[in-house]
Amino acid sequence: MSTKTTLDKAKAWAQNTYFSPESRAEIQALIDTNNTKQIDECFYKDLEFGTGGMRSILGQGINRINIYTIRKATQALCSEVLAQKSSNPSMCISYDSRIMSFELAQVAAEVMAGNGIKAYIYKHLNPVALLSFAIRTHKSMAGVMVTASHNPPEYNGYKVFWSDGAQVTPPNDQNIINNYNSITDFSSVKVMPFADGEKAGLIEWIKDEVEENYYKAIHKAMINPDLCRENGGKLKIVYTPIHGAGLVPCSRALKDLGFTDVHVVPEQAQPDGRFPTVKSPNPENPSALKMAVDLMDKLKADIVMGSDPDTDRLGVAIKVNGVVEYLTGNQIGILKVHYILSEMKRKGTLTGENYVVKSIVTTPLLDTIAHSYGVEVFNTLTGFKWICGKMNELEKTQPQKKFIFATEESFGYLCHTFARDKDGVSSVSQMAEVALFHKLKGRNLLEALDKIYEEFGFSREDLLSLDYFGIEGSEKISRIMTNFRNFSDNNILGNAIANIKDYSKGIEGLPKSNVIGFFFENGNQVYLRPSGTEPKIKFYIMIQEKEGTLANKKLNAEIKATQFLDYFKAASERA
């Protein structure tokens, strides 16, 4: 889009008295200083809904998160809810610790009220799982989570959930997108001031009992609560919410389960959208857990656990022989599913109708483990919107099937059916139970993993994530995907290619998605996927080693993974 087009849009914003004086002045300053690059970034497109809703940098303009784009998004959602012709429509709202999250949550409530839809909103910040739980509790038509998950502090965002408590899926998501794109006049959005909405009974604070019922529900979902109640004090835990929404719910869940030796990183305990102690509040990154690891050293604790701002991801670190080990999302998933299935088998509670759900980019070793216990595995596209969508589908079409566990490699887990998104609160509780179980058996989590590898085979997974920002970045990511779609060689680094799958064609019963999968004759796999909500492209490397000792398998897998990472990085830079 040309600078002239974006400049026209910027001038229209700056001159529109619907926007606040502060908002107009911010854009006028860009015009006055001829800041064409920033004008382009703010106006070259409307915000788009991706796999998790929409995210952007906070600021003014149609391509930024602000009260006006949140109003517009909420109006689009309201129109889709009203199209369902419910006699008493309602929606639920939660929000995390990010800058403006509470204010934007209130803005969403005002638009819901303006459309005659009742808005239930939490009195304080709460994780994603508690939003999903509230939607299901209130039997609401939809819900909104104001969050940008683990993005840097300058971001905020908006995740949309449907009546089942899961993130919105087709056709409703596309309808909302169409509604959003059809709104050309911000002043057409219906808004009722928050106080007026309360007086009219159209805005209501969510009652404390909803949260209490959630804690009771996830407590029941644990495998061996008696083990935790009797021995919980034997596991020393360091936990960090990384300035997010997790402090109260995760501390409460651990306490309810019987873990009494829990230490929170004091500098990261309180909610703070600036995330002042980390570069990025993402527990997938070792750097985000550094302060927790330092506290683990000081206290000689057994395990570090960290959650992101909206508390849907779990990161784990332990120390073995003086070396800090950061578990991958796949390793955490392997430990959890193996523990659940082995304990269910011991108790005789596997029914033959049990199933697990995972994303296609999550380790195939999880399939191997589940199948060995007679448990079916359903693979979905990346994202818990698809994972929970599959759960909801099976609940309707095959109600005899019993859900056990869901996971994706990006540190998201769900071990119950009370919410329909990844749940960092129950994940923290369950991880504590898994760690306690193995500690009582005299082994650490790496030793527990090695036992699993010895029995089921070794699998190594690595993630290459390349950031390409702005308009130029978006174009580069598109070129990378095009180049690999047109890939014509029969091998990569000597690995013979058995098949290349283009998921944009809607294969294997999955919705169309911008994903490419390389499948090699030796069992190795590589997936390419642009993020739906962030300016990056991800390469998922999965190495299978079947020959030699476990030590040799690990070494060979590391060498091959490094070669693949170097190859795909170099190929991307050339695009």
Tokens representing residue 431 in the block: 């991880």
Tokens representing residue 436 in the block: 């306690």
Say how far apart CA 509 and CA 511 lie, in whole Å.
Answer: 7
DSSP state of 251: H
Q: Which distant-in-sequence residues (6+ apart) come within 8 Å of 397 by Cβ?
A: none
Tokens representing residue 365 in the block: 């070793």
Contact status, residue 517 vs residue 362, Cβ threshold 8 Å: no
Contact status, residue 410 vs residue 387, Cβ threshold 8 Å: no
Contact status, residue 254 vs residue 430, Cβ threshold 8 Å: no
Which helix (H) or strand (E) covers residue 470, if one does?
A: helix 470-485
Residue closest to 424 by CA, chosen among 182, 233, 185, 254: 254
Contact status, residue 219 vs residue 282, Cβ threshold 8 Å: no
Say how far apart CA 483 and CA 536 lie, in whole Å.
Answer: 16
Say how far apart CA 300 and CA 297 lie, in whole Å.
Answer: 5
**Which amino acid is it at 126?**
N
Residue closest to 415 by CA, chosen among 248, 407, 360: 407
Give the β-pairing of 142-146 and 155-162: antiparallel
Adjacent-strand bridge partners of 55: 157
Say how far apart CA 2 and CA 86 lie, in whole Å.
Answer: 44
Active site residues: 149
3-state SS track over 357-389: EEECCCCCHHHHHHHHCCCEEEEECCCHHHHHH
- Asked if residue 266 has a cis previous peptide bond (ω within 30° of 0), the answer is no
DSSP state of 512: P
Tokens representing residue 426 in the block: 């129950």
Residue closest to 375 by CA, chosen among 410, 401, 399: 401
Contact status, residue 377 vs residue 371, Cβ threshold 8 Å: yes
What angle separates helix 365-372 from helix 329-347, to the nearest 10 degrees?
0
Contact status, residue 147 vs residue 98, Cβ threshold 8 Å: yes
**Which amino acid is it at 282?**
N
**Which amino acid is it at 19?**
F
**Which amino acid is it at 299?**
L
Give the β-pairing of 118-121 and 90-95: parallel
3 state SS of 88: coil
3 state SS of 390: helix
CA-based end-to-end distance of the chain: 21
